[in-house]
Every structure is written in C-alpha cells, then in structure tokens.
C-alpha cells in the first residue's frame, strides 16, 4: 500500500487530492496550511509548530507540499526527514524553495527532495516512485481509426487532472491536428501554472503536444 501525503495551502493542492482519489489506488493523507502567511518569518520552526499541522500526513511514503513559502518549506522538509518519509516533492519552483537548504536537509536525513517548476514536469524516478509512475511528465497510448483519434489512454498525467480531461476531449480529432489540439486543450483547462509569454502553462502545453507526437509516432512504427 502506497501512502501519499499532501499538504495544501488554501486552494493549492486540492485538485491533486481529487486526482489522486480518481486516478490512483494510493492511500491519501492530508494536512492544510492557511492561505495567507507572512512573507518573512524570523522563527519559522516556532511558527509552523503553532500551525499544528496534522502529524498523520508525515506517515507517508511520499509527501507533496504546496507550502509555497521559502521559510516554511524547509521546516516541512525537515519534519518529513525526521519522520522517515522517503521523498518530498515541492511544486511551485525554486523561487519558493531554497535549494541549498533543501540539499542540506536531504543529505542529513536521507530524504529525496524534488523541486518541480510545474506539476507536470516531474520525471519518473526510483526515489519518487510509485507516485511519479502515475503523475508527472505526460505519456499516452493512442488508437486511431480512419485518420481520427479513437482513444487516448493516459499512462502518466498532470496531478491537476488536466491530462485526463484533455484525453477525453481529443477523441474525434484528426491525427494531423491531435498534437496541437492537445497543447491547446491543456491551456484551456483551469491549470494554476503561471500564465505569460514564457514558462508556466506554455511549458505544460508543449509537454502534452510532444507527448502526443511521441504516442502517434510509436503507433505508426508498430
């Protein structure tokens, strides 16, 4: 039995919990942080102690924390290491997670820490498996009929659930248009990745486009 711990902050992390329940057989344990937190903390350990985080969330194989705070994330990483958690995944990018400090914690406690810029870039690794064998860098198997997509099987997908929603809406698309439409559909889903000219949602769209191209190429080579 694989146990995944999810630490939410406000709305962040709730969609992951829904996706875990819907598309995996993992046991899910949760804890929540307030949506509003001070920007700077002089004594982050004492502050986190006062938050009274549900200790059961640390009885997990892998924890995903949406603390999104450079002072609080290391405290949670240390708590996870002390509890014997195997791996910690930190969505939200390096700007909200001090990498040097996290590296020290990883070495001290032997916990693998993965900082993920956007949720669907996590590669499959032994240290983060089995979570990363289901969620992360998108991967599909497709079927076609008379030049149209007839089925899309999601092998791995974004933890927000967008990959599975995209797969449903891609049925009936021409094979030629499928990669571009895959990227477009991901951008239409209310993903919380950053919008803008570069990065964020556009990286997610490009990943799904390339995953569809790869799936179609694999199909043509059979």
Res 191 pLDDT > 90:
no
Of the CA atoms within 13 Å of residue 75, those in its CB half-sphere come to 22
What integer is the mean pLDDT of 18-43? Answer: 95
Q: Are strands 139-145 and 148-156 parallel, antiparallel or unpaired?
A: antiparallel
Between CA 6 and CA 17 the distance in angstroms is 7
Reported as a single tens digit per residue, the pLDDT across 64-121 is 999 999 999 999 999 999 999 999 999 877 667 789 999 999 999 999 999 987 778 8
- Intervals of CATH 3.90.1010 along the chain: 137-219
Reported as a single tens digit per residue, the pLDDT across 107-157 is 999 999 999 877 788 889 999 999 999 999 999 999 999 999 999 999 999
Provide CB contacts within 8 A for 209, sequence distance 6+: 179, 180, 182, 183
- Intervals of CATH 3.40.50.720 along the chain: 1-132
Between CA 208 and CA 165 the distance in angstroms is 12
For domain 137-219, which architecture applies? Alpha-Beta Complex (3.90)
What integer is the mean pLDDT of 192-210? Answer: 73
Confidence of residue 219 (pLDDT cuts 50, 70, 90): confident
What integer is the mean pLDDT of 26-42? Answer: 95
For domain 1-132, which architecture applies? 3-Layer(aba) Sandwich (3.40)
Confidence of residue 222 (pLDDT cuts 50, 70, 90): low
What's residue 117's pLDDT? 77
Res 192 pLDDT > 60:
no
What integer is the mean pLDDT of 155-179? Answer: 95
Location of structure tokens 């199909």: 219
What's residue 74's pLDDT? 96
**Are 56 and 2 in contact, with CB atoms under 8 Å apart?**
no
Helix locations, the chain, DSSP H = 14-23, 44-51, 72-82, 99-109, 131-134, 162-170, 178-188, 201-221
**Mean pLDDT of the residues in the chain:** 91
Res 197 pLDDT > 60:
no
What's residue 110's pLDDT? 97
Report CA dihedral (172, 175, 181, 182) to the nearest 10 degrees. Answer: 90
Q: What is the per-residue burial (b if ≥16 Cβ within 10 Å, else e) of 97-110?
A: bbeeebeebbeebe
Count other Cβ atoms within 10 Å, centred on residue 76.
25
What's residue 175's pLDDT? 96
């Amino acid at each position: 039995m694989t146990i995944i711990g999810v630490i939410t902050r406000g709305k962040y992390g709730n969609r992951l919990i829904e996706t875990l329940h819907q598309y995996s057989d993992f046991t899910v344990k949760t804890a929540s942080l307030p949506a509003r937190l001070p920007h700077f903390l002089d004594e982050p350990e004492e502050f986190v102690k006062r938050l009274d985080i549900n200790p059961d969330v640390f009885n997990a194989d892998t924890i995903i924390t949406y603390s999104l705070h450079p002072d609080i994330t290391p405290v949670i990483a240390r708590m996870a290491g002390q509890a014997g958690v195997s791996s910690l995944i930190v969505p939200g990018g390096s700007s909200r997670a001090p990498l040097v400090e996290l590296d020290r914690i990883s070495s001290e406690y032997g916990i693998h820490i993965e900082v993920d810029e956007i949720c669907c870039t996590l590669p499959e690794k032994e240290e983060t498996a089995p979570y990363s064998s289901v969620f992360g860098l998108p991967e599909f198997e497709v079927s076609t009929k008379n030049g149209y997509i007839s089925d899309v099987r999601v092998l791995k997908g974004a933890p927000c659930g967008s990959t599975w929603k995209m797969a449903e809406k891609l049925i009936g698309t021409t094979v030629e248009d499928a990669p571009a439409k895959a990227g477009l559909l991901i951008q239409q889903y209310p993903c919380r990745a950053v919008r803008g000219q570069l990065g964020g949602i556009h990286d997610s769209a490009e990943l799904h486009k390339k995953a569809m191209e790869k799936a179609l190429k694999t199909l043509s080579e059979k």
